[in-house]
Amino acid sequence: ATGCSQPGDVGTKSVAFDARIVAADSEPQNWLSHGRTYSEQRFSPLDDIAAGNVGGLGLAWYHDLDTFRGQEGTPLVVDGVMYATTAWSKIVALNAATGERIWQFDPEVPGSAGLHACCDVVNRGAAYADGRLFFGTIDGRLIAVDAKTGTKVWSVQTTDPETSQAISGAPRVAKGKVFIGNGGADQGVRGYISAYDQSTGKLAWRFYTVPGEPGKKDGAASDEVLERLARKTWSGDRYWQIGGGGTVWDSIVYDPDFDRLYVGVGNGGPWDRGIRSNGEGDNLFIGSILALDPDTGEYIWHYQETPGDQWDFTSTQQMILADLTIDGTARQVIMHAPKNGFFYVIDRKTGKPVSAETFVPVNWAEKVDLATGRPVVYPAARYDKAGPFLASSGGWGAHNWHPMAFSPQTGLVYIPAMQVPMRYATDGSFEYRPGLLNLGVGTGGKLPEEAAAIKAMLGAFQGRLIAWDPVAQKEVWRAERDSPWNGGVLATAGGLVFEGLADGTFRAHDAKTGKELWRFEAQQAIMPGPVSYAVNGVQYVAVMVGKGGAYNLAMPGFSRPDPRIPGRIMAFKLGGTAKLPVKAKADVPPFQPSDEKFTAAQIAHGDALFNSTCGACHGAGAQSIGVLPDLRRSGALANGDVWRQIVIDGMLSDNGMASFAKYLSPADAEDIRAYVNDRARVAKGAEKP
């Protein structure tokens, strides 16, 4: 049922470990790789915890992490030891039965590298092979550590440290190689995936997803196909001067049935196709799945889900491999629910779509024409030609990186889905600013600051867990959530699906009916996918907890400063009796505007600068959800000297607030202060006593 039963032609270095991941179902007590098996179904065959007894599930242990930023990791569990990567690219080994720490390795990512991370300093996980763990860092290193001791074996720089390339995703291992990409398409970089020798860290091959400077060869596996297929789908020079995008920031899957690697490719950069490519062309291979030879990186096939993407519709979302019977025929397929809102079933052999239907309502395309494989795009969605466009869902995705799960028992895929509108308008005054966000698009508009208006607006932001029948291409059940950005999903042979929510609860549903059977108050938002494993015959379900990620940094309006609780790993078992410490009351500083007089021109200039330079982390409109400081409540707001020392001199660089001296003048910093001060005044005035 996993669709991944043939080891294929494995290399010499890690036959033993490849075979172990291929046969992962024979050791269900372990969670050996990111999606548990190479098929990445996130289905645990363990069934001691089941629909009939899940009410008795309790906390077995929790482990506090030493960071307060977002946690997105899927821990691995190998023979009773849990390995989890955390915010700031650290990795910790715990006794999986007790939560006791065995070791921690801190790659000491400089705080200033936080500037290169588009979407929080998160890390989604490690890969394990032959007694070593492999993981990436925000400053672009791929590191191997010894699983017993946590000592470094090798480390290699996979990116240009001068650019905004940052690794948030989990590497994968197969055939003696470690595969890794990076993020940065929104800042203006050129995407690629690299393969490193597992034992030495030496680069084996690299594949660029988009063409570079014309006439210049990269000496990479992609050279031939980029000229043969991709180059002619781009126009002008700005794409290669700025980067073009197409970053490989999350999903990479090895398929032992076909001995292939599938690579999810990200959005175009800058977003606006008018700026990027004169409004022309499909811009291969952005918004695509690429099939590559794992030994050489050689191109096999591609399927472009979002030709000429201009909505940040990445195809990096997790891929699930499965064998399905469709119209009486056995098909080996990839199941994919990328940001663009279509659920694709794709033939693994040919890369051709078998079917594609929307899993939430979408307004950018009418349908996918299966004869050509192309979406039928509504003219209004082409904002580079037709003017501002309000998409639902937009760039936050109908589904983002939060992993979905597939249960071979129910035949259903469980998708953490979203409907989040986003407005797109060509930025007529776009100028490329190396290292910073380079979207070429205004996504904003003014937002209300009054609590009631914010509440009303949030009604348009929806999240739901959807059980999807991939054969019939239709929804079977749904569980509505109060907001988007809920966590990844785990399906188990106990007939359960587990999901952590943005509201800080961890829940179990009946996999067949969707009925909620259990919930736990975890005190903090949960984003990543849970795992299940067993130690000494006892089944556990574990999940990492900690608010953050792109949406929680940038999306305003919630202004719900939570108490500072560190990130945590929580593990549950039947009869577990551990208790979380009592949640402290949030210590909310007041809005702290100063009485200084700023001019309207200063405030307007500060508005433009803040929302293009600062808002991705400190919240659009200076309204913070509380992961990073709400600057309207900052003690530095009333003190121009301290403000400048932070923004220009990098006083808080170690905390992740890099110096912006490269991008902003002291006068710019002062104008930003004028703007935030203005927002703080408005917020103070709107506050109810």
Ligand X SMILES: O=C(O)c1cc(C(=O)O)c2c(n1)C(=O)C(=O)c1cc(C(=O)O)[nH]c1-2
- Per CB under 6 A, 136 contacts ligand X: no
- Per CB under 6 A, 669 contacts ligand X: no
Q: Taking contact as CB under 6 A, which single stretch among the options 51-59, 113-121, 381-389, 659-667 is the one that binds ligand X?
A: 113-121
Measured CA to CA, the distance from residue 424 to residue 445 in angstroms comes to: 10
- Per CB under 6 A, 192 contacts ligand X: no
Output the smallest distance, CB 252 to ligand X, in A: 13
* 92, two tokens: 């910790």
Rank residues 150 and 421 by Cβ distance to ligand X and give the closer one. 421
The answer to whether 381 and 365 are in contact (CB under 8 A) is yes
Output the smallest distance, CB 199 to ligand X, in A: 27
Is 139 a residue of the active site? Answer: no
Q: Is the dihedral of CA 112, 117, 118, 123 positive or negative?
A: negative
Tell me the CA distances in angstroms from 665 to 119, 124, 184, 670, one per residue in order: 25, 35, 24, 9
Q: Taking contact as CB under 6 A, which single stretch among the options 184-192, 288-296, 378-386, 425-433 is the one that binds ligand X?
A: 184-192
- Per CB under 6 A, 420 contacts ligand X: no
* Helix-strand-coil split of the chain, %, nearest 5: 20, 30, 50
Rank residues 247 and 392 by Cβ distance to ligand X and give the closer one. 247
* SS3 of 257-276: CCCEEEEECCCEECCCHHHH
Size of the site for ligand X (CB under 6 A): 20
Among 61, 401, 518, 572, binds ligand X (CB under 6 A): 401
* Range 612-651, binding ligand X (CB under 6 A): none
User: Residue 361: how many CA atoms within 13 Å on its side-chain side?
Assistant: 7
Measured CA to CA, the distance from residue 270 to residue 241 in angstroms comes to: 11
Rank residues 28 and 181 by Cβ distance to ligand X and give the closer one. 181
Among 28, 176, 184, 529, binds ligand X (CB under 6 A): 184
Among 122, 147, 398, 574, binds ligand X (CB under 6 A): 122
Residue 152 amino acid letter = K
Output the smallest distance, CB 78 to ligand X, in A: 25
Rank residues 314 and 318 by Cβ distance to ligand X and give the closer one. 314
Among 18, 40, 120, 257, binds ligand X (CB under 6 A): 120
Rank residues 249 and 424 by Cβ distance to ligand X and give the closer one. 249
* Range 57-86, binding ligand X (CB under 6 A): 72
Q: Taking contact as CB under 6 A, which single stretch among the options 179-187, 196-204, 425-433, 657-665 is the one that binds ligand X?
A: 179-187
Rank residues 309 and 607 by Cβ distance to ligand X and give the closer one. 309
* Range 322-341, binding ligand X (CB under 6 A): none
Instruction: Find the catalytic residue in 120, 309, 312, 678.
Output: 312
Output the smallest distance, CB 547 to ligand X, in A: 11
* SS3 of 455-510: HHHHCCCEEEEEEEECCCCEEEEEEEECCCCCCCEEEECCCEEEEECCCCEEEEEE
Tell me the CA distances in angstroms from 589 to 546, 559, 565, 592, 631, one per residue in order: 21, 12, 16, 8, 10
Measured CA to CA, the distance from residue 24 to residue 43 in angstroms comes to: 11
Tell me the CA distances in angstroms from 90 to 105, 111, 136, 287, one per residue in order: 6, 13, 9, 30
3-state secondary structure of 254: strand
The answer to whether 623 and 548 are in contact (CB under 8 A) is no
- Quote the crossing angle between the two packed helices 640-647 and 666-686, to the nearest 10°: 120
Judge if the upstream peptide bond of residue 285 is cis by omega within 30 degrees of 0: yes
- Per CB under 6 A, 247 contacts ligand X: yes
Measured CA to CA, the distance from residue 170 to residue 531 in angstroms comes to: 15
Among 174, 253, 496, 550, binds ligand X (CB under 6 A): 550
x-marked contacts with ligand X along 202-241 as a string, rule CB under 6 A: ----------------------------------------
Measured CA to CA, the distance from residue 598 to residue 459 in angstroms comes to: 35
Q: Taking contact as CB under 6 A, which single stretch among the options 50-58, 119-127, 233-241, 582-590 is the one that binds ligand X?
A: 119-127
Rank residues 35 and 184 by Cβ distance to ligand X and give the closer one. 184
3-state secondary structure of 592: coil
* Range 257-276, binding ligand X (CB under 6 A): 266-267
The answer to whether 432 and 243 are in contact (CB under 8 A) is no
* Range 152-171, binding ligand X (CB under 6 A): 168
* Range 276-315, binding ligand X (CB under 6 A): 312, 314
**Where on the phi/psi map is residue 364: left (φ > 0), alpha (ψ -120 to 50), or beta?**
alpha
The answer to whether 625 and 555 are in contact (CB under 8 A) is yes
- Per CB under 6 A, 462 contacts ligand X: no
- Per CB under 6 A, 572 contacts ligand X: no
Looking at beta carbons, which residue is closest to ligand X? 183
Closest CA to 186 of 306, 282, 268, 274: 268
Output the smallest distance, CB 266 to ligand X, in A: 4
Provide the 10 A C-beta neighbour count for residue 248.
Answer: 27
Among 21, 54, 87, 119, binds ligand X (CB under 6 A): 119
Output the smallest distance, CB 413 to ligand X, in A: 20
Rank residues 17 and 485 by Cβ distance to ligand X and give the closer one. 485
Output the smallest distance, CB 387 to ligand X, in A: 24
Q: Taking contact as CB under 6 A, which single stretch among the options 135-143, 183-191, 292-300, 572-580 is the one that binds ligand X?
A: 183-191
* 525, two tokens: 């938002």
Q: For binding to ligand X (CB under 6 A), which residues are involved?
A: 72, 118-120, 122, 168, 183-186, 247, 249, 266-267, 312, 314, 400-401, 549-550
Catalytic residues: 312
